[in-house]
Amino acid sequence: MNTIKNVLIPVENGYDTLDVQIVDNAIAAISPGIDATKSAINGTNKLLLPGFINAHTHSSEMWQRGIMSGFPLELWLAELYDFAPLDIEKVYLSALGTAVETLLSGGTTVVDHLVLIPGKELETIATAVRAYKEVGIRAFVAPLIQDESLSAGIPSGESEQTHEPYFRSTQATLEIISEAVKQFHRPDEGIYIATAPTGIQLCSDALFTGCIELSEKYDLCRHSHLLETKAQEKLAQEKYGCSAVEHLKRIGYLSDRTSLAHCVHLTEADITILAETKSTVVHNPLSNLRLGSGIAPILKYRQAGVNVTFGCDGASSNDSQDLLEAIKIGSILHNVTDFDYQHWITPRQAIEMASLGGAKGLNMADELGSLTVGKKADLVMYDLTSLSLLPRTDPIGLLVLGRPTNVVDSVWVNGKQIVADGKVKTIDVDNLRQELFSHSQWQTTRKSQTVAQIEAHYRTVMGL
Amino acid sequence: MNTIKNVLIPVENGYDTLDVQIVDNAIAAISPGIDATKSAINGTNKLLLPGFINAHTHSSEMWQRGIMSGFPLELWLAELYDFAPLDIEKVYLSALGTAVETLLSGGTTVVDHLVLIPGKELETIATAVRAYKEVGIRAFVAPLIQDESLSAGIPSGESEQTHEPYFRSTQATLEIISEAVKQFHRPDEGIYIATAPTGIQLCSDALFTGCIELSEKYDLCRHSHLLETKAQEKLAQEKYGCSAVEHLKRIGYLSDRTSLAHCVHLTEADITILAETKSTVVHNPLSNLRLGSGIAPILKYRQAGVNVTFGCDGASSNDSQDLLEAIKIGSILHNVTDFDYQHWITPRQAIEMASLGGAKGLNMADELGSLTVGKKADLVMYDLTSLSLLPRTDPIGLLVLGRPTNVVDSVWVNGKQIVADGKVKTIDVDNLRQELFSHSQWQTTRKSQTVAQIEAHYRTVMGL
pLDDT at residue B433, as a whole number: 98
Contact B403 A63 (CB under 8 A): no
CA distances from A110 to A364, B141, B241 (A): 13, 45, 55
Based on the fold, state whether residues B35 and B66 are members of the same structural domain: no
Instruction: Yes or no: say if B224 and B253 are a contact pair by the CB < 8 Å rule.
Output: yes
Query: Which of A70, A295, A439 is nearest residue B344 as measured by Cβ atoms?
Result: A70
CA distance B181 to chain A (A): 31
In a domain, B335, yes or no: yes
Instruction: Yes or no: say if B170 and B186 are a contact pair by the CB < 8 Å rule.
Output: no
Contact B15 A444 (CB under 8 A): yes
In a domain, A458, yes or no: no
Per residue in A311-358, pLDDT (tens digit) is 999 999 999 999 999 999 999 999 999 999 999 999 999 999 999 999
CA distances from B331 to A42, A62, A292, B286, B350 (A): 41, 20, 11, 11, 6
Out of B361, B384, B418, pick the residue that ends a domain. Answer: B361
| Preferred mutation among A86, A101, A403, A443 to probe B, highest tally of B CBs within 10 A | A403
In a domain, A460, yes or no: no
Instruction: Yes or no: say if A83 and A77 are a contact pair by the CB < 8 Å rule.
Output: no
Contact A320 B289 (CB under 8 A): no
Per residue in A247-301, pLDDT (tens digit) is 999 999 999 999 999 999 999 999 999 999 999 999 999 999 999 999 999 999 9
Range of the domain at B262: 51-361
Q: Which residues of B touch A440 (CB under 8 A)?
A: 390-393
> Which H or E element spans position A174?
helix A170-184
Instruction: Yes or no: say if B356 and A30 are a contact pair by the CB < 8 Å rule.
Output: no
Q: Give, in degrees to the nearest 5, the angle at Cα A392 between A389 and A395.
A: 65
Instruction: Read off the pLDDT of each residue in A198-224 and give the average, rounded to a whole number.
Output: 98
CA distances from B344 to A221, B299, B330 (A): 37, 7, 11
> Which H or E element spans position B379?
strand B379-383
Q: Between B280 and A149, where is the model more confident? A: B280
d(CA A448, CA A374): 52
Has residue A38 got a pLDDT over 80? no
Per residue in A91-126, pLDDT (tens digit) is 999 999 999 999 999 999 999 999 999 999 999 999
Instruction: Yes or no: say if B116 and B168 are a contact pair by the CB < 8 Å rule.
Output: no
Query: What b-and-e string marks burial along A93-103, b requiring 16 or more CB atoms within 10 Å of the CB?
Result: bbbbbbbbbbb
Q: Which residues of B touch A97 (CB under 8 A)?
A: 387, 390
> Which H or E element spans position A455?
helix A449-461
Contacts A–B by Cβ distance under 8 A: 228
pLDDT band at A139 (very low <50, low <70, confident <90, very high): very high
Contact B385 A291 (CB under 8 A): no
Contact A442 B230 (CB under 8 A): no
Instruction: Yes or no: say if B284 and B225 are a contact pair by the CB < 8 Å rule.
Output: no
Q: Is residue A251 classed exposed, middle or buried when 0-12, 13-18 and 19+ CB atoms within 10 A define those classes? A: middle
Instruction: Yes or no: say if B181 and B209 are a contact pair by the CB < 8 Å rule.
Output: no
Count of structural domains, chain B: 2
In a domain, A453, yes or no: no
Q: Which residues of B touch A401 (CB under 8 A)?
A: 65-66, 290, 318-319
pLDDT band at A160 (very low <50, low <70, confident <90, very high): confident
Based on the fold, state whether residues B414 and B271 are members of the same structural domain: no
Candidates A286, A294, A235; CA nearest to A263 is A294
Torsion angle defined by CA atoms of residues B453, B456, B458 and B461, in that order, rounded to the nearest 10 degrees: -140
CA distance B460 to chain A (A): 12
Out of B335, B361, B387, pick the residue that ends a domain. Answer: B361
What is the SS3 assignment for B457? helix
Contact A66 B432 (CB under 8 A): no
Amino acid letter for position B171: Q
Based on the fold, state whether residues B300 and B337 are members of the same structural domain: yes
pLDDT at residue A445, as a whole number: 77
pLDDT at residue A151, as a whole number: 85
What is the SS3 assignment for B83? coil
Contact B336 A392 (CB under 8 A): no
Contact A393 B443 (CB under 8 A): yes
Out of A361, A396, A416, pick the residue that ends a domain. Answer: A361
CB atoms within 10 A of CB B104: 25
In a domain, A441, yes or no: no
pLDDT at residue B441, as a whole number: 95
Based on the fold, state whether residues A291 and A408 are members of the same structural domain: no
Query: Which of A335, A339, A403 is nearest residue B290 as measured by Cβ atoms?
Result: A335
CB atoms within 10 A of CB A442: 17
Based on the fold, state whether residues A259 and A352 are members of the same structural domain: yes
Based on the fold, state whether residues A59 and A207 are members of the same structural domain: yes
CA distance B183 to chain A (A): 30
Instruction: Yes or no: say if A384 and A395 are a contact pair by the CB < 8 Å rule.
Output: yes
Q: Which residues of B touch A289 (CB under 8 A)?
A: 329, 332-333, 335-336
> Which H or E element spans position B232?
helix B230-240
In a domain, B449, yes or no: no
User: Global pTM?
Assistant: 0.98
In a domain, B433, yes or no: no
**Predicted complex ipTM exceeds 0.90:** yes
Based on the fold, state whether residues B206 and B335 are members of the same structural domain: yes
Based on the fold, state whether residues A79 and A181 are members of the same structural domain: yes
Q: Looking at chain B, which residue has its C-alpha nearest residue A46?
A: B442
Based on the fold, state whether residues B305 and B236 are members of the same structural domain: yes
Candidates B15, B13, B1; CA nearest to B346 is B13
Contact B67 A397 (CB under 8 A): yes
Instruction: Yes or no: say if A246 and A269 are a contact pair by the CB < 8 Å rule.
Output: yes
In a domain, B435, yes or no: no
| Preferred mutation among A283, A332, A382 to probe B, highest tally of B CBs within 10 A | A332
CA distance A65 to chain B (A): 7
CB atoms within 10 A of CB B81: 12
Based on the fold, state whether residues A82 and A9 are members of the same structural domain: no
pLDDT at residue A159, as a whole number: 80
Amino acid letter for position B359: A
CA distances from B383 to A428, A435, B45, B327, B328 (A): 19, 16, 7, 18, 18
CATH number (domain holding residue B86) = 3.20.20.140
| Preferred mutation among A16, A336, A423, A433 to probe B, highest tally of B CBs within 10 A | A336
Query: Which of B336, B385, B406 is nearest residue A295 as measured by Cβ atoms?
Result: B336
Q: Looking at chain A, which residue has its C-alpha nearest residue B10?
A: A444
What is the SS3 assignment for B72? coil
Per residue in A407-441, pLDDT (tens digit) is 999 999 999 999 999 999 999 999 999 999 999 99
Query: Which of B71, B341, B390 is nearest residue A436 as measured by Cβ atoms?
Result: B390
Contact B295 A336 (CB under 8 A): yes
Kindly give the parts of chain B with pLDDT less than 50.
none
Per residue in B289-343, pLDDT (tens digit) is 999 999 999 999 999 999 999 999 999 999 999 999 999 999 999 999 999 999 9
Q: Looking at chain B, which residue has its C-alpha nearest residue A430?
A: B387
Contact B394 A101 (CB under 8 A): no
Long-range contacts made by residues A251-254, C-beta under 8 angstroms, separation at least 24? A251/A205, A251/A208, A251/A209, A251/A212, A252/A209, A252/A212, A253/A208, A253/A211, A253/A212, A253/A222, A253/A224, A254/A279
pLDDT band at A400 (very low <50, low <70, confident <90, very high): very high
Q: Which residues of B touch A229 (CB under 8 A)?
A: none
Based on the fold, state whether residues A119 and A264 are members of the same structural domain: yes
Contact A440 B65 (CB under 8 A): no
Based on the fold, state whether residues A99 and A42 are members of the same structural domain: no
CATH number (domain holding residue B391) = 2.30.40.10
d(CA A337, CA A333): 8
